[in-house]
Each structure stands twice: as C-alpha cells, then as structure tokens.
C-alpha cells in the first residue's frame, strides 16, 4: 500500500514521506483542499500569485 500524500503547512508542497523536499519542514497535513500543478514557474501567473518557486504539485489550502 502506498503512503498517503501530505501537504506541507509551510510551503503547501504535496509530498509522500515525512519531510517536505522544498523547504525541509516536517510540519505536514493529510487535510488539504485544491490541487495545483506547476510545470514552469517562470511563466506561471499562478505560481507567482502563490509564491511558488519550484515546479511540482501544491495544495491550494492546507488545514
């Protein structure tokens, strides 16, 4: 069985594991809503609006 995805409470990155690979935080939550996938941070208006600096999957809201 695969691990349940978790969202980092600091940067909202969705990860599988015990720590965030973007900010290194272990403050993760299984309760989040919305999903945004950023492919190109340089040209993404959504990435700029959300303050995302690395491509990947991110939660819109983390509880």
Tell me: is residue 61 an annotated ligand-binding position: no
What are the φ and ψ backbone dihedral angles of 23, each rounded to 5 degrees?
-110, -10
Are the C-beta atoms of residues 28 and 62 closer than 8 Å to each other?
Answer: no
d(CA 22, CA 38) in angstroms, rounded, equals: 14
Tell me: is residue 42 an annotated ligand-binding position: no
Tell me: is residue 8 an annotated ligand-binding position: yes
Tell me: is residue 23 an annotated ligand-binding position: yes
Residue positions forming the annotated binding site = 8, 11, 20, 23
Residue positions forming the annotated binding site for Zn(2+) = 8, 11, 20, 23
């Amino acid at each position: 069985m695969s691990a349940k995805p978790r969202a980092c409470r600091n940067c909202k990155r969705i990860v599988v594991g015990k720590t965030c690979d973007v900010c290194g935080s272990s403050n993760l939550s299984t309760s989040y809503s919305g999903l945004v996938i950023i492919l190109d941070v340089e040209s993404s208006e959504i990435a700029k609006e959300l303050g995302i600096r690395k491509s990947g999957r991110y939660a819109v809201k983390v509880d």
